[in-house]
Amino acid sequence: MTVGDLASVASGTHPHRAVLVIAELEPVVAPAARLGGLPVGAFAHRAGMITKPEVRSVVLGKLDLPATGVLWDLGAGSGSVAVEASLAAPGLRVIAVERNGADADRAVANAAALGATVEVVVATAPDALADLPDPDRVFVGGGGLEVLEAAWARLRPGGRLVATFAAVDRAAAAHRLLGSLVQVSVDRADTLPDGGVRFAADNPVFVAWGDKPHGDTDEARGPASEASTATAVVDPRPNSGVQVGSCWWSSTTDPIGTIAVGVGCSSDATADEVAAVVADALGSAPSNTMPPAVVATVDRRRDHPAILALTGLHRSGRGGPLPVMAFPSSLLAQVSVATPSAVVADAVGTPSVAEAAALLAAGPGARLVVTKRKGATATAAVAVGFRSCGVGRLTVVGLGPGAAQHRTPAAVAAVRSAEAVVGYGPYVDAVADLVHPAQRIVRSAMGTESDRADAAVALAAAGWRVAIVSSGDAGVFGMASTVLEAATAMVGTDGQPLLVDVVPGVTAAHAGAAAVGAPLAGAHAAITLSDILVPWERIEAQLRAAAGSGLALALYNPRSKGRPDHLGRARAILADVLSPDTPVAVVTAAGDHGQQIDVATLATLDPTVASMHSVVLVGTVDTRVDPTGRLVTSRHHPSGSGRSVTSVAGDTSDGSPAADAIDPGPSAPPLPAPPPQEGARP
């Protein structure tokens, strides 16, 4: 018997009938393919600008990396996805495209440090794609829908494209393009000072993906786009409709849903000119087609004589005049259409009136069935929805101070059940975990409250279920009053007043008060220091009157870039009324992650610690700072008999009325009458 390793045994001579026995040989195991998840610290990156490990794992899993071929990583940043893809599939050619030179340098360094092979191209997509080989896989981490569509056009048949988004409206558009979408939400454990554990939520990330069918050619249809689906509607009911040219028409007495004709016109358009272009838009239909149920246009043309003349058309589904639905140009501008116009955008603030208005008026899920028809002074388009004209409903939703745990169940239900969600951009982002791709998302900028309310009211009037979101409580310096005022003059498609609900929320004042103790335990007042809607003279009078009455104060909007000195001015006013030792707390991001608390007195308050995300809480003569630093306003006061009570700090009053009397300071001037609004809604 010969014993040895394989090399020595193989070099020797053995009998013809020898048996080779191999024992205790360590198995050779192929390295497992990584699915990502290297910690953030493994990569050099700009602060916060990196795909988190958990999202990276999902992305790489969805990419389903082949052993060979080409992968594009577009908007690669520091290259974390490209690097891990190379490590997972060493035979794959990985090309990372990044326009920022410093980030591209980091991607090169990260690949070298981790042993990955990545080609880094410093360029801007989609311009840079022309010089790259056709990919089998594409990851889009930045660049928007234009990059998405350009990458899809170059993707090889059978290939897959994966993209990530932080904004739900862009994710919804990608879902329509690619067909699949998931939301990735991660909660991270954090240790509390007492040794306990809490979980803090990362911002959710949306991952969309789609496969390019085999056999696609340059002429074949890529991912469905608004333009490519705008001129045809598929009827989900068998044999219930026919398509004639670019129009869908019902073969029964009822349409599949609301038929809306959208109309745009110049200020000098005549009734005959508008009627002619509308007739052209409807002219492709057989004689037995259903007439429209609503006319839609931009709000500035709501009362145009030529538009009003269209109400004499026969109305589908019910008698009476045809209603006119009008939408703000800012809302129409957010609707993707088949034939946008830069000329129209310059003139009225939206690239489409006729097509966009028709789509909104026809309701959720509507599609254009007749694209824009042009006349001398007017345009018209026709859209059909997938349900009949219904009664819309508008819900004003208070989201609370910020963190998801402070939302009420009613607020969550209102957002989830809405067909359209309207709000200031950051507030819409705050409910990204509640919305879904089927909803229409309408974002607006700061300072456009009236326009935002008009958009929500117009959608509800057209039959949509709308949620307009507001931080804190919508009735406290929020959107509730503005929406209710806008809804007063509006009726729905049924001719009845709009249904408007208000869902309450936790206010910033109460969240801030809870964070610092109980400074608002007694009577208190909330005052905004923003003079955008209220003149400063009125704010000054409110401060003097409230403080002079012994009320604790919650000051909203204390300081901003445009109003850097308002909190300082307010402090000077309060100093005329209150003791310099009055406790004050500035709570920033109250009730949210990153909450910050600054406790001071009226004399030592530093106004620069406050921002638009802060609420300033000002105590009273009954407010003390306890040994743990909490502000507590006592609810106990000396009785008329002079009986003493124990204060928060443990001292006792001597029972003298003067000891607990509130110094009203200088008498507060009467509140001036609000200035005339000249027709503008606050």
Residue 295: its H or E element: strand 294-298
Rounded CA separation 408/398 (Å): 9
User: Which of the given ranges, 26-40, 111-125, 281-295, 642-656, has the highest pLDDT on average?
Assistant: 111-125
241-323+354-384: CATH topology is: Nucleotidyltransferase; domain 5 (3.30.420)
Between these two residues, 350 and 10, which has the higher pLDDT value?
A: 350
The pLDDT of residue 298 is above 90? yes
Q: What is the pLDDT of residues 142-152, one digit of tens each?
A: 777 778 888 88
Rounded CA separation 175/436 (Å): 10
Q: Which amino acid is at 459?
A: L
Confidence of residue 647 (pLDDT cuts 50, 70, 90): very low
**pLDDT number for residue 363:** 85
- Are residues 555 and 574 in contact, defined by beta-carbon separation less than 8 angstroms? no
Region 537-562 average pLDDT: 94
User: Apex CA 190: angle with CA 189 and CA 193, to 5°?
Assistant: 150
**pLDDT number for residue 304:** 92
- Stretch among 323-337, 345-359, 633-647 having the lowest mean pLDDT: 633-647
Q: At what angle do helices 53-63 and 80-88 cross, to 10 degrees?
A: 50
- Are residues 204 and 185 in contact, defined by beta-carbon separation less than 8 angstroms? yes
**pLDDT number for residue 520:** 94
CA distances from residue 493 to 66, 327, 463, 587 in whole angstroms, order as listed = 54, 14, 7, 45
- Are residues 73 and 97 in contact, defined by beta-carbon separation less than 8 angstroms? yes
Rounded CA separation 162/177 (Å): 11
CA distances from residue 583 to 393, 432, 454, 546, 587 in whole angstroms, order as listed = 45, 38, 42, 16, 13
- Are residues 472 and 478 in contact, defined by beta-carbon separation less than 8 angstroms? yes
**pLDDT number for residue 676:** 37
**pLDDT number for residue 506:** 94
DSSP-derived letter for residue 155 is S
Rounded CA separation 455/344 (Å): 19
Rounded CA separation 592/572 (Å): 30
3-state secondary structure 21-90: CCCCCCCCCCCCCCCCCCCHHHCCCCCCCCCCHHHHHHHHHHHCCCCCEEEEEECCCCCHHHHHHHHHCC
**pLDDT number for residue 674:** 38
Query: To which CATH superfamily is domain 508-660 assigned?
Result: Tetrapyrrole methylase, C-terminal domain (3.30.950.10)
**pLDDT number for residue 290:** 61
Q: Is 301 exposed, middle or buried (0-12, 13-18, 19+ CB in 10 A)?
A: buried
Closest CA to 241 of 225, 229, 257, 226: 257
Residue intervals in the chain for CATH 3.40.1010.10: 393-503
Residue 444, phi then psi, degrees to nearest 5: -140, 165
What CATH class has 40-211? alpha beta
The pLDDT of residue 519 is above 90? yes
Query: To which CATH superfamily is domain 393-503 assigned?
Result: Tetrapyrrole methylase, N-terminal domain (3.40.1010.10)
Q: What is the pLDDT of residues 376-391, one digit of tens each?
A: 899 999 888 765 555 6
Rounded CA separation 26/134 (Å): 42
CA-CA-CA-CA torsion sign (322, 328, 330, 331):
negative
Arithmetic mean of pLDDT over the chain: 79
Residues 6+ apart with CB under 8 A from 525: 542, 546, 551, 552, 553, 554
Region 196-203 average pLDDT: 80
Rounded CA separation 311/295 (Å): 8
The pLDDT of residue 665 is above 60? no
3-state secondary structure 474-534: CCCCCCHHHHHHHHHCCECCCCCECEEEEECCCCHHHHHHHHHEECCCCCEEEEECCCCCC
- Stretch among 43-52, 312-321, 534-543 having the lowest mean pLDDT: 312-321
Residue intervals in the chain for CATH 3.40.50.150: 40-211
Q: Which amino acid is at 23?
A: A
- Are residues 324 and 293 in contact, defined by beta-carbon separation less than 8 angstroms? no
Characterise 608 by phi-psi region: left (phi > 0), alpha (psi -120 to 50), beta (else): alpha
Between these two residues, 553 and 612, which has the higher pLDDT value?
A: 553
Pairing of strands 205-211, 160-165: antiparallel
Confidence of residue 178 (pLDDT cuts 50, 70, 90): confident
CA end-to-end distance (rounded Å), the chain: 101
The pLDDT of residue 244 is above 60? no
Token pair for 6:
């394989």
The pLDDT of residue 1 is above 70? no
Residues 6+ apart with CB under 8 A from 185: 201, 202, 204, 433
Give the rounded distance of the alpha carbon of 220 from its chain centre.
34
Give the rounded distance of the alpha carbon of 44 from its chain centre.
29
Closest CA to 112 of 133, 86, 138: 86
Residue intervals in the chain for CATH 3.30.950.10: 508-660
Give the 3-state secondary structure of residue 425: helix
Using omega within 30 degrees of 0 as the cis cutoff, is the peptide bond preceding 126 cis?
yes
Token pair for 492:
């729905």
Region 31-41 average pLDDT: 62
What is the number of alpha carbons within 13 Å of residue 102 lying toward its C-beta? 5
- Are residues 294 and 260 in contact, defined by beta-carbon separation less than 8 angstroms? yes
Token pair for 321:
């005049």
Q: Which residues of 386-407 are buried (b: 16+ CB within 10 A; e: fewer)?
A: bebbbebbbbbbbbbbbbbebb
Between these two residues, 402 and 574, which has the higher pLDDT value?
A: 574
Rounded CA separation 506/474 (Å): 9
Closest CA to 44 of 92, 89, 110: 110
The pLDDT of residue 309 is above 60? yes
Rounded CA separation 149/225 (Å): 9
Region 441-453 average pLDDT: 88
Token pair for 645:
């009570």
- Are residues 92 and 70 in contact, defined by beta-carbon separation less than 8 angstroms? yes
Closest CA to 552 of 451, 622, 640, 475: 622
**pLDDT number for residue 638:** 58
Give the 3-state secondary structure of residue 216: coil
Token pair for 630:
């909490």
Confidence of residue 621 (pLDDT cuts 50, 70, 90): very high
